[in-house]
Amino acid sequence: MKSFWVVSLSLWLGFFTVQCQAKIKEAFTVQKVASGLFFHLGSHELPNRTNHGAIANIGFVVGKQCVAVLDSGANPEQGRLLKEAIEKITDVPICYVINSHVHPDHIFGNRSFKESGVQFIGHKNLARALQARAIFYTQRSVEQLGIKLTLQDIVLPDIAVTDSLKLDLGGRVLTITAHGSAHTDSDLSVLDENSQTLWLSDLLFVEHLPVVDGSLKGWLKELKELSRLKIKHVVPGHGPVLDNWRVALQRQESYLTMLLREVRAMIKEGKFIEQAIAEVGQNSSGQWALFDVFHKKNITFVFAELEWED
């Protein structure tokens, strides 16, 4: 009887695991943005035990001598799938993994790329941000993502970008820019001059509600700079690659500006954070995916930031 329970339980668990792995595998495809630049389109979901956190856009650029990975994925399995996708497309070795920022959906595939000859690149603040958050992210990985992440899954950057960095992949130069505190305090963007493509990662959200986890005012400042760039393609961290990326940038800017204006006004009127969380920006509901999940977090974050303005 006892053994029956154990068998049926483990069968069920096994079935569940296979199902989940099949789901990731089935969903994993990469698309060409431009010659030699590919991305996997994520989905507008909250990280959960079914998707194991694999929701973000991740990708890679192929040069003559080197491949650079643009975010490694949300877990080692997704990292491995990305690596397989790269190996199917090219024989050029992977030399770099660029981590766009500290959030788990972008970096927890790192472990699958860790081998000699591969260098990890991050913002100068990335190591610090990882040190501060990594224990928490790994501790709750089973509860939140249904997979066990450990400190071994955290790979600290070998190269820290303070300002900007040129990366020569062989006949193809990437310009990596370290931004001021914006989406997070460890945001990098990657410009591929060959294809005139800018990998913005979570500095731009398309369809998915933008999430503020660095500085609202800082982010608006960075967006102003970015809107001046003359480039063809922009790859966001979430959502599709659009021909007219400026429209998406403006849409994001207008949501963030609304947050700034309304939260600032409530602070001036002496209102409390609870009131702001309940009232600010409800009109924007329906315009964004995952609004109900992240809008209140944004208000909370922005309120705490703007309280110190004066």
Partner 1 sequence: MRISRVILSLCLVSLINVASAGVDETVWQNTLKGQFFSGRTISKAENIIAIEAPYRAEDAALVPIRVTSKINQTNEKYIKKITLIVDKNPIPFAAEFNFTPLSGKADVAMRLRVNTYSYVRAIAEMNDGQLFMVKKFVKASGGCSAPIGADLDAAMQRLGRMKFKFPSSVQPNEPNLAQLLISHPNITGMQMDQVSRFIRPAYYVEKVKVTFDGQPVLTAKTDIAISADPNFRFYFVPQSAGELRAEVIDTDGKVFSQTYQVKP
Q: Given the rule CB under 8 A, which residues bind partner 1?
A: 4-5, 8-9, 12-13, 16, 46-48, 103-105, 125, 127-128, 130-137, 140, 143-144, 151, 154, 156, 181, 184-185, 211, 213-215, 270-274, 277, 293-294, 296-297, 299-301, 304-305, 307-308
d(C-alpha 143, C-alpha 141), whole Å: 6
- Closest by CA to 177, choosing from 168, 167, 186, 190, is 190
Q: Closest separation between CB of residue 76 and partner 1, Å?
A: 18
Strands of the sheet with 197-205, listed across from one edge:
164-168, 173-178, 188-192, 197-205, 233-238
Cβ pair 37, 234 in contact under 8 A: no
Tokens of 188: 């990098």
**Which CB sits closer to partner 1, 65 or 282?**
282
Q: Which residue matches tokens 């990657």?
A: 190
**Which CB sits closer to partner 1, 184 or 197?**
184
d(C-alpha 237, C-alpha 239), whole Å: 7
**Which CB sits closer to partner 1, 4 or 115?**
4
Q: Closest separation between CB of residue 29 and partner 1, Å?
A: 24
**Which CB sits closer to partner 1, 23 or 296?**
296
Helix axis angle, 291-306 to 245-268, nearest 10°:
50
Tokens of 95: 């030399």
Q: Closest separation between CB of residue 144 and partner 1, Å?
A: 7
d(C-alpha 40, C-alpha 237), whole Å: 10
Cβ pair 236, 284 in contact under 8 A: no
**Which CB sits closer to partner 1, 17 or 29?**
17
Q: Closest separation between CB of residue 225 and partner 1, Å?
A: 19
**Which CB sits closer to partner 1, 180 or 229?**
180
Q: Closest separation between CB of residue 221 and partner 1, Å?
A: 13
d(C-alpha 252, C-alpha 288), whole Å: 10
Cβ pair 233, 195 in contact under 8 A: yes
**Which CB sits closer to partner 1, 134 or 161?**
134
